Chain A
Amino acid sequence: MSSAISLSAIGLVVAATIGIGLFGLRISRTTSDFYVASRAVSPRWNASAISGEYLSAASFLGVAGLVLVNGADMLWFSVGYTVGYLMLLVLVAAPLRRSGAYTLPDFAETRFESPLVRRICAGLVVGIGTLYLLPQLHGAGLAVQTVTGAPPQVGAMIVAVIVVINVAAGGMRSITFVQAFQYWLKLTALAAPIFVILLAWHQPTGVLDSLHGAAAEWAEPLSRAGGRDHPLYATYSLLLALCFGTMGLPHVLVRFYTNPDGRAARRTTVVVLALLGLFYLFPPMYAVLGRTFAPDLVASGGDTVVLELPGRVFPGTAGDLLGALVAAGAFAAFLSTSSGLTVAIAGVIDQDLLRSRLREWTGGDYVAVNSFRIAALIAMVVPYLAFTVTGALSLADTVGLAFALAASTFCPLLVLGIWWRRMSTTGAAAGLVVGGIAASAAALINVAGAPQGGWPRALVGQPAAWTMPLAFITVIVVSKLTPDRIPAGTARSMVRLHTPEAVDVDRGLPPR
């Protein structure tokens, strides 16, 4: 693979990202611009931006690699990533937008009238966000390593620095433009090599050989090609984590606050589903072609198959050019998801940790935007240090654990908080704590060394199927036991969350 061409392509993406970011700086003026683009982004822009932000390293590189190595069961990853948005649409999209909150801790505090629940949420946002930033940095390191042979820290450092500069410079408004651009770049980068390969191949049947015949066991679902016990349980648990974890990812939530109203939030999500479906048609094709053209990657984990395939199929300049395009798309994936996560984490660090301290230290003589910028730096430094310490976990594994944690904490909080008027503050806190501890324990055991085979390994490897119901049951049981702790303003909250904007009622909060 020609590193010069790929490096210049990555350089172009970086330059375009910073360029569009600086353009955003000129129109980002207020604190509200920084957080939520002043809530004035049209559904079409917003949908491209949401998709651009959501399609991370795990989608761009990880899904193809997983399918290549572990076979058809891994197709559920891209299905789950997409269905997660459908669940988000029907359960939380419009009410969340109508909640009038800037961040998830804001939502928790106004709904449950409790600084304690707010603090737990703030901690979880930082935790889930950091867990999700790790694989982005890992992917960036991997991409630069594949292209140039440089150590993984180099690529991770590049992404970290650019993201902090961009977020600190323009906040959410510039991020919206950057991410909309990056969705289309990612789709082009992933689709173009596939089209070229399919056009250049004269017998299309040869391309699909890996799916048929004696050596095609990997292409069968539930085949244990990935060496897992209880594939049926693992499939269901994964599906549950992805379907219900999406709504709990901090960068996904922040993005919804940029819609002008609840109705726009719904319509935006429908466009997002179309864009995601279009994108996810391509990663499995890389896996199928990879089985034919790059079977050696199966042994090495497969995460680099998207980057290496063009060069394997077309040795020479054509392969170099396509490889450069894919590398550029991969970089767009790391940059966009990392930017979104950093905005979300920085927002929470700024509001819940930094601003009050700054006010104390400076006697009120500070600028709110600067506090956000410092928070952005902190939000990226922590995962970068964690990355250099932990080294490489598989892309999709870490992401899977982040989804399981989100599905076991924020999903019950949001779903029950929006739809169940007898939920108590104590129930909310208990659900967050129990779900959070159970899912994090499973994640830690996984990292420290999973049990050898059998049910323990299946339960710890895919925890959502038990941690998520556990969290829901905890909220419901504790709420039933503490009816006196149901927030006094619940009726008003329900009005705020559910009445359409066209109805002129008292929503209990000043309109923002």
Chain B
Amino acid sequence: MSTPEGPRRVRVTSPRTSAARRPIIPTGTREIDEQTRLGEIYMLSLVQSQLRLTLAVIGGVLLVLGSIPLLFWLVPPTRTLSIFGLPLPWVILGIVVYPVVYVAARIYVRNAERIEAEFTEFVGRQ
């Protein structure tokens, strides 16, 4: 956490010494508003972090879901295999898939909010 002394000290030192120190840059939000090179980099890093998270979740879910028909296709006994008195395909597609999707959603939201909190703290810092 930054302390309020940081920016106050900036005003009494020379611009040259301040130029080397990050907290002295006015704010990340101004960089973004004025669409400077730096502001664009801030935005790019936010969008890319979120996109990486999104693609990881989609990749994981589609990989798991997509391999289920392939499993049934390549290993025919799995089509009739019985678990707790129910055929395996019915257990997976009728029951198990829903809690898995819910957990994936929870994990996604937690990470997406973490990325946003870090971004907010970073660019909002004076």
A359 contacts partner chain B, Cβ-Cβ < 8 Å: no
- CB pair B43–A208 under 8 Å, yes or no, is no
Minimum Cβ distance to chain A for residue B56 (Å): 9
- CB pair A79–B93 under 8 Å, yes or no, is yes
Give chain B residues whose Cβ lies under 8 Å from the Cβ of A274: 102
A273 contacts partner chain B, Cβ-Cβ < 8 Å: yes
Per-position 1/0 for A268-303, Cβ under 8 A of B:
011001101110110010001000000000000000
* A90 and B54 contact, Cβ closer than 8 Å, known pairs A75-B90, A82-B97: yes
Minimum Cβ distance to chain A for residue B75 (Å): 11
Report Cα–Cα, A503/B112, bound state, in Å.
15
A220 contacts partner chain B, Cβ-Cβ < 8 Å: yes
Taking a contact as CB atoms closer than 8 A, the residue among A90, A494, A504 that contacts B124 in the complex is: A504
- CB pair A503–B119 under 8 Å, yes or no, is yes
Report Cα–Cα, A278/B102, bound state, in Å.
11
Taking a contact as CB atoms closer than 8 A, the residue among B33, B53, B79, B106 that contacts A505 in the complex is: B33
Give the 8 A-B residue pairs with the shortest CB-CB distance, closest first: A277-B98, A75-B93, A500-B116, A220-B79, A90-B54, A506-B33, A221-B72, A284-B94
* A494 and B43 contact, Cβ closer than 8 Å, known pairs A236-B69, A269-B105: yes
B7 contacts partner chain A, Cβ-Cβ < 8 Å: no
What count of chain B residues pass the 8 Å CB interface test?
51
Give chain A residues whose Cβ lies under 8 Å from the Cβ of B29: 503-505
Minimum Cβ distance to chain B for residue A260 (Å): 15
* A280 and B98 contact, Cβ closer than 8 Å, known pairs A90-B54, A223-B79: yes
- CB pair B90–A83 under 8 Å, yes or no, is no
Interface residues, chain B, with chain A CB atoms under 8 Å away:
29, 32-33, 35, 40, 43, 46-47, 50-51, 53-54, 57-58, 61-62, 65-66, 69-70, 72-73, 79-80, 82, 85-87, 89-90, 93-95, 97-99, 101-102, 104-106, 108-109, 112-113, 116-117, 119-120, 123-124
Chain A interface mostly:
helix
A502 contacts partner chain B, Cβ-Cβ < 8 Å: yes
Report Cα–Cα, A232/B29, bound state, in Å.
50
Chain B interface mostly:
helix
A499 contacts partner chain B, Cβ-Cβ < 8 Å: yes
Taking a contact as CB atoms closer than 8 A, the residue among A222, A277, A288, A494 that contacts B99 in the complex is: A277
Report Cα–Cα, A494/B112, bound state, in Å.
16
- Could you list some 17 contacts between A and B, CB below 8 A? A79-B97, A86-B101, A87-B58, A91-B58, A211-B87, A220-B80, A220-B87, A221-B69, A221-B93, A232-B69, A232-B73, A266-B113, A267-B109, A273-B101, A494-B43, A499-B46, A505-B32
* A491 and B109 contact, Cβ closer than 8 Å, known pairs A219-B90, A499-B46: no
Give chain B residues whose Cβ lies under 8 Å from the Cβ of A269: 105
Taking a contact as CB atoms closer than 8 A, the residue among A72, A90, A263 that contacts B57 in the complex is: A90
In the complex, residue of chain B having the shortest beta-carbon distance to the beta carbon of A283: B94
A357 contacts partner chain B, Cβ-Cβ < 8 Å: no
- Sorting the interface of chain A by its residue count into under 10, 10 to 19, 20 to 34 or 35 or more gives 35 or more
Give chain B residues whose Cβ lies under 8 Å from the Cβ of A278: 98
Give chain B residues whose Cβ lies under 8 Å from the Cβ of A419: 47, 51, 54
Report Cα–Cα, A419/B32, bound state, in Å.
18
- CB pair B94–A75 under 8 Å, yes or no, is yes
Segment 486-511 of A: residues with Cβ below 8 Å from B: 491-492, 494-495, 498-500, 502-506
Minimum Cβ distance to chain A for residue B76 (Å): 9
- CB pair A221–B54 under 8 Å, yes or no, is no
- CB pair A75–B89 under 8 Å, yes or no, is yes
Minimum Cβ distance to chain A for residue B112 (Å): 6
Give chain A residues whose Cβ lies under 8 Å from the Cβ of B95: 281
Report Cα–Cα, A358/B1, bound state, in Å.
57
- CB pair B86–A211 under 8 Å, yes or no, is yes
Give chain B residues whose Cβ lies under 8 Å from the Cβ of A390: none
- CB pair A212–B47 under 8 Å, yes or no, is no
A362 contacts partner chain B, Cβ-Cβ < 8 Å: no
- CB pair A273–B89 under 8 Å, yes or no, is no
- CB pair A277–B90 under 8 Å, yes or no, is no
In the complex, residue of chain A having the shortest beta-carbon distance to the beta carbon of B88: A221
Give chain A residues whose Cβ lies under 8 Å from the Cβ of B97: 79, 82-83
A144 contacts partner chain B, Cβ-Cβ < 8 Å: no
- CB pair A500–B94 under 8 Å, yes or no, is no
* A236 and B109 contact, Cβ closer than 8 Å, known pairs A273-B101, A498-B43, A503-B29: no
A89 contacts partner chain B, Cβ-Cβ < 8 Å: yes
* A266 and B112 contact, Cβ closer than 8 Å, known pairs A87-B58, A236-B66, A277-B101: yes
Give chain A residues whose Cβ lies under 8 Å from the Cβ of B112: 94, 266
Supplied contacts A83-B61, A94-B112, A221-B79, 16 more A-B pairs, CB within 8 Å: A79-B93, A90-B57, A91-B58, A220-B80, A220-B87, A222-B69, A281-B94, A288-B90, A491-B35, A491-B43, A498-B50, A499-B119, A502-B124, A503-B119, A503-B123, A505-B32
In the complex, residue of chain B having the shortest beta-carbon distance to the beta carbon of A204: B85
Give chain B residues whose Cβ lies under 8 Å from the Cβ of A222: 69, 72-73, 79
Give chain A residues whose Cβ lies under 8 Å from the Cβ of B108: 86, 89-90
A239 contacts partner chain B, Cβ-Cβ < 8 Å: yes
Report Cα–Cα, A384/B63, bound state, in Å.
41
In the complex, residue of chain A having the shortest beta-carbon distance to the beta carbon of B27: A504
A452 contacts partner chain B, Cβ-Cβ < 8 Å: no
- CB pair B89–A503 under 8 Å, yes or no, is no
Taking a contact as CB atoms closer than 8 A, the residue among B53, B65, B86, B94 that contacts A83 in the complex is: B65
Minimum Cβ distance to chain B for residue A382 (Å): 35
Report Cα–Cα, A87/B55, bound state, in Å.
10
